Amino acid sequence: MSAGRLKIGFIPLVDAATLLVSVDMGFAKDEGLDVELVREVSWSNVRDRLAVGHYDAAHLLAPMAVASSLGLSHVKVPLIVAFNLAMNGNAITVSPDLHIELQAAAEGDLSDPAVSSRALKRVITARELGGEEPLTFAMTFPFSMHNYQLRYWLAAGGVDPDQDLRLVVLPPPFMVDNLAKGHVDGFCVGAPWNAVAAEAGLGVVLHPTCAIFNPSPEKALAFRADNVMRDPTPVEALIRACLKAADFVANEENHAEVAALLSRPDRVGVDTQAILRTLGGAPVAGAERNRDYLIFGDSQSGRPESYQASWILAQMLRWRQARLFPELLRLAQGVFEPRYIDHAIGVSTPHPHKAIAAFNGPDFNEADIRAYINAFTLGEKI
């Protein structure tokens, strides 16, 4: 990582907006940076190229940064999350046929995740009795908020994610095509792909995942830990550029310009209307605006917190992705490092973090992760 030149990988998603805008609107250049952005297809590509040094930084799944640093299902490469690019931003979408089945099975308002998850359990039970194949749901990566949001919702209704259906991994741009072909019955993915499915009549957006838990760290600006410790100057410069971009994106007067930028083939590459709706807080036309649907990192929400890493680790432990040992929590917490944003903007007294709240289940207490995990009916007991 040279002083002013950075090569950064990203996935075509709206939650990369502030990173993309920081470069394309000149905010990074104003901070003395020369940034090359590379559009990737899969999260594993982004992770691997960051790990081997092909990239200096990455738009990365927040849980992936923790997993890489712990050496879970991949070579151990310590990473630093220096900035939260986005909170929330995903949604659960199902096929029109499955939506009809859920409506028939629902006892209450299907927009309530507790109601929809129990309805899904009834649909699954009926399919088993009828000798039908299990349903298939897709998410973007095992170490992702998509996976944990989907599993949390399923388990709340009594659906065992590892026994009662199939969970498969698909890159975000491939979700809609696989739903259209009947390869999957639903998926959890980030914007704008839920909107693309809905607008084409191929899917029904069931829940924005801020209805599952909120606010959840979604995408991180991640760096190799050794590079950050060697020279934090470009890291802090890029954070300042992203904060300027976040202010630009937050201004509704700029939404048309931002949507036009993101719709370019070398950026997100979808219709501007789907992006505009996402920026406005509504995943589909006619939906009520939800300010929590996608939150871009600013001086408060952009600050990575050890609490967020602890919460991610708890989901990993619940779903048997990690084994608890004495140093595990400390190592995970060290991935989400706030000192760089604090230094970049000159903050000495940071704003306290906002707790991650789920639609049901026990409250999270990072001082007693074991009790939190053991309070659930489904999942690992530790």
pLDDT tens track, the chain, 382 positions: 666 899 999 999 999 999 999 999 999 999 999 999 999 999 999 999 999 999 999 999 999 999 999 999 999 999 999 999 999 999 999 999 999 999 999 999 999 999 999 999 999 999 999 999 999 999 999 999 999 999 999 999 999 999 999 999 999 999 999 999 999 999 999 999 999 999 999 999 999 999 999 999 999 999 999 999 999 999 999 999 999 999 999 999 999 999 999 999 999 999 999 999 999 998 787 788 999 999 999 999 999 999 999 999 999 999 999 999 989 999 999 999 999 999 999 987 777 788 999 999 999 999 999 999 999 999 999 9
Helix orientation angle between 233-250 and 17-24, rounded to the nearest 10 degrees: 100
From-to residues of CATH 3.40.190.10 in the chain: 5-87+216-350, 90-214
Contact indicator for 64, 139 with CB cutoff of 8 Å = no
* Chain position carrying tokens 């498969």: 168
Distance of CA 300 to the CA centre of its chain: 18
Distance of CA 326 to the CA centre of its chain: 28
Contact indicator for 219, 297 with CB cutoff of 8 Å = no
* Chain position carrying tokens 């989907």: 150
Cβ neighbours of residue 248 closer than 8 Å, sequence gap 6 or more: 21, 25, 27, 254, 258
Domain boundaries 5-87+216-350, CATH class: alpha beta
Closest CA to 275 of 90, 23, 17, 1: 17
Q: Distance (Å, rounded) from C-alpha 337 to C-alpha 341?
A: 9
Contact indicator for 39, 267 with CB cutoff of 8 Å = yes
Look at the pTM and tell me if it is higher than 0.75: yes
131-159 burial by CB neighbour count: b if 16+ within 10 A, else e? eeeebbbbbbbbbbbbbbbbbbbbbbbbb
Question: According to CATH, what is the number of the domain 90-214?
Answer: 3.40.190.10
Q: Distance (Å, rounded) from C-alpha 382 to C-alpha 370?
A: 6
